[in-house]
Amino acid sequence: MLTFFGLAPGMRVAELGAGGGYSTELFARSVGPSGVVYAQDTPNWDGPGLQKAWEMRLGRPALQNTKHFMRQWDDPLPPEAKGLDAVYSVAVYHDAIAEKGDTGKMNQAVFAALKRGGVYAIVDNSAKAGSGSTDAERLHRIDEQVVRDQVQQAGFRLVAEDRFLRNPDDPRDWNADSGVNKTHTQDRFALKFVKP
């Protein structure tokens, strides 16, 4: 994932829906002390467990370059998150839809925060082709085409996709939420978009 996302030391990046910060820590270590990581979580997820996870993560020396904050999906990044090299979304695009966020506004905010040539990379649990966003809440999955269409509507250009998380044997009819599925055998797509 880190190779596909194209992380490098000194980059300024953000993560949408950082959760407990597992991916965020990988990003922080990859960009190093000269880089910056903005980690967003939605207020819908706020609670003692999330707060405790972030206290632990942010106490680590490798995350001294990281800022965590709570913001809605519609306006996910703080004003200082401008001229970013990349914004990452790891298995949460479907959550923005399930929680009734405006993904059009979210994608426009990401577009505005990125510098020209900046990357918007998205990994998510795939739903059956043609299902649209109907499985976003029930199965924690999203039709890949919905993501492609919505992100490109915001002005992004699709430049790469990869199969490293694909599982053709997944029938895509079960709940892929990480709180339920501990085996992580779901089919996932990985898409990389660029701001022209």
pLDDT tens-digit map of 120-172: 999 999 999 999 999 999 999 999 999 999 999 999 999 999 999 999 999 99
Whether 180 has a pLDDT exceeding 80, the answer reads no
Beta-sheet pairing, 157-162 with 188-194 = antiparallel
Lowest mean pLDDT among 23-37, 122-136, 182-196: 182-196
Using pLDDT thresholds of 50, 70 and 90, give the confidence band for residue 183. Answer: confident
As a whole-number percent, the residues of the chain with pLDDT over 90 amount to 93
Q: Per-residue pLDDT averaged across 51-80, rounded?
A: 96
CA-to-CA separations, 106 to 10, 65, 87, in angstroms, rounded:
25, 24, 11
Q: Per-residue pLDDT averaged across 167-196, rounded?
A: 91
Report phi then psi at 125, rounded to 5: -75, 125
Using pLDDT thresholds of 50, 70 and 90, give the confidence band for residue 110. Answer: very high
Q: Per-residue pLDDT averaged across 8-32, rounded?
A: 97
CB 118 within 8 A of CB 194: yes
Nearest-angstrom CA–CA distance, 20 and 85: 23
Which ranges in 117-183 belong to alpha helices (H)?
144-153
Whether 181 has a pLDDT exceeding 90, the answer reads no
Q: Which helix (H) or strand (E) holds 57?
A: helix 48-58
The two three-digit tokens of residue 83, written as one number: 């001229």
Q: Per-residue pLDDT averaged across 26-42, rounded?
A: 97
Whether 184 has a pLDDT exceeding 90, the answer reads no
Using pLDDT thresholds of 50, 70 and 90, give the confidence band for residue 84. Answer: very high
Q: Which helix (H) or strand (E) holds 29?
A: helix 22-31
The pTM of this model reads 0.95
pLDDT at 92: 96
The two three-digit tokens of residue 77, written as one number: 């990044």
Using pLDDT thresholds of 50, 70 and 90, give the confidence band for residue 178. Answer: confident
Mean pLDDT of the chain: 96
pLDDT at 179: 73
Whether 47 has a pLDDT exceeding 90, the answer reads no
Encode 146-164: b = buried (16+ Cβ within 10 Å), e = exposed: bbbebbeebebeeeeebee
C-alpha closest to that of 125 among 116, 114, 137, 117: 137
Nearest-angstrom CA–CA distance, 122 and 192: 6
pLDDT at 139: 96
Beta-sheet pairing, 66-70 with 157-162 = unpaired
